[in-house]
């Protein structure tokens, strides 16, 4: 059987809680799977239950969280998997460190104003943070450092989920990680 070559890359989604990282990364994941690519999604919320269980939300712990995710993302990327990382990852220095470490790296800034994220309050966490029931909450009493050179920016308060998803897929195509028109699945049949 002919083995099709796919190139590994890590697509790193960063942004405030409720900005849309999980939503967009899951949509990108299912599109890529549909096209026949090998994909893994490392979602911050799930990772924190296993790989980084026990870590808190100090800068040191957040950095450790990001570095452990980056370690796994790197292993997968060098084995030609398309890796989607969805994590607040609020500190620019450690995100840039992951960019240098992994190499094939696309940063997606999932950008939505704090007020909109708070209005959405998908997990009810902003309410808790405002009530003082949660400390070190990003955007409330903990910093978020915006990317300066993200390859993609999704302004999720202004665009639809499908528009945000397409932006990411188009960037992957533009950088030659995927062929939207001639997907792996389509190639398999020829
Ligand atoms: P995060 O993973 O960043 O914490 P979620 O994906 O869990 O955020 O929640 C984002 C919310 O915003 C969802 O309810 C989603 O339906 C909504 N939303 C509205 N527009 C967009 C968009 N363009 N992209 C992503 N999410 C969007």
Residue 6's pLDDT band (boundaries 50, 70, 90)? Answer: confident
In a domain, 4, yes or no: no
Q: Is the pLDDT of residue 127 over 80?
A: yes
The DSSP call for residue 154 is E
**DSSP label of 84:** E
Give the dihedral sign, CA 32/154/109/69.
negative
Looking at the chain, the whole-number percentage of residues with pLDDT higher than 70 is 92
Q: Which two tokens stand for residue 94?
A: 């450690």
89 in catalytic set = yes
Tokens (6 digits) for 123: 């997990």
Total of domains in the chain:
1
Q: Look at residue 1 and tell me whether its pLDDT is greater than 90.
A: no
Shortest-distance atom of ligand 1 to CA 159: 23
The CATH number assigned to the domain holding 129 equals 3.40.50.300
pLDDT of residue 139 exceeding 90, the answer is yes
For residues 177 and 164, what is the distance between their CA atoms, to the nearest angstrom? 18
β-pair partners for 40? 83
Residue 118 covered by a domain: yes
Residue 2 lies in a domain: no
Domain carrying residue 76: 9-189
Say yes or no: CB of residue 21 within 6 Å of ligand 1: yes
How does pLDDT run across 11-20, given as a tens digit for each residue? 999 999 999 9
Q: Is residue 141 part of a domain?
A: yes
Nearest CA to ligand 1 atom 16: 23
Q: Which stretch of DSSP H or E encloses residue 85?
A: strand 82-86
Find out whether the beta carbon of 167 lies less than 6 Å from any atom of ligand 1. Answer: no
Residue 186 confidence (pLDDT): 47
From 24-28, 54-58, 172-176, 184-188, the region with the lowest mean pLDDT: 184-188
The SS3 call for residue 54 is: coil
pLDDT digits (tens, 9 = 90+) for 83-124: 999 999 999 999 999 999 999 999 999 999 999 999 999 999
Other beta carbons within 10 Å of 160: 9
Percent of the chain clearing pLDDT 90 (strictly above): 91
Cβ 24 under 6 angstroms from ligand 1? yes
Which residue out of 89, 164, 166, 183 is catalytically annotated?
Answer: 89
Identify the pLDDT of residue 95. Answer: 98
Q: What residues have CB less than 8 Å from 162, skipping those under 6 apart?
A: 27
Residue 187 has pLDDT above 90, yes or no: no
3-state secondary structure of 98: helix
Task: Classify the C-alpha dihedral 57-61-62-68 as positive or negative.
Answer: negative
DSSP 5-46: P---EEEEEE--TTSSHHHHHHHHHHHHHHTT--EEEEEHHH
Yes or no: say if 23 and 68 are a contact pair by the CB < 8 Å rule. Answer: no
């Amino acid at each position: 059987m002919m083995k099709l070559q796919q190139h590994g890359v890590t697509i790193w989604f960063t942004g405030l809680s409720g900005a849309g990282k999980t939503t967009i990364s899951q949509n990108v994941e299912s599109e890529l799977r549909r096209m026949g690519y090998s994909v893994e999604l490392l979602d911050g919320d799930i990772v924190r239950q296993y790989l980084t269980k026990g870590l808190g939300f100090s800068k040191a712990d957040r950095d450790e969280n990001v570095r452990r995710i980056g370690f796994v993302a790197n292993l997968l990327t060098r084995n030609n998997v398309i890796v989607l990382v969805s994590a607040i990852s609020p500190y620019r220095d450690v995100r840039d460190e992951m960019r240098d470490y992994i190499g094939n790296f696309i940063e997606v800034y999932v950008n939505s104003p704090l007020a909109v994220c708070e209005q959405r309050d998908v997990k009810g966490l902003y309410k808790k943070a405002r009530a003082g029931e949660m400390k070190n909450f990003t955007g409330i009493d903990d910093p978020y450092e915006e990317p300066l050179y993200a390859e993609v920016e999704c302004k999720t308060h202004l665009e639809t989920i499908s528009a945000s998803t397409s932006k990411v897929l188009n960037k992957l195509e533009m950088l030659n990680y995927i062929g939207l028109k001639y997907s792996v699945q389509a190639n398999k049949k020829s």
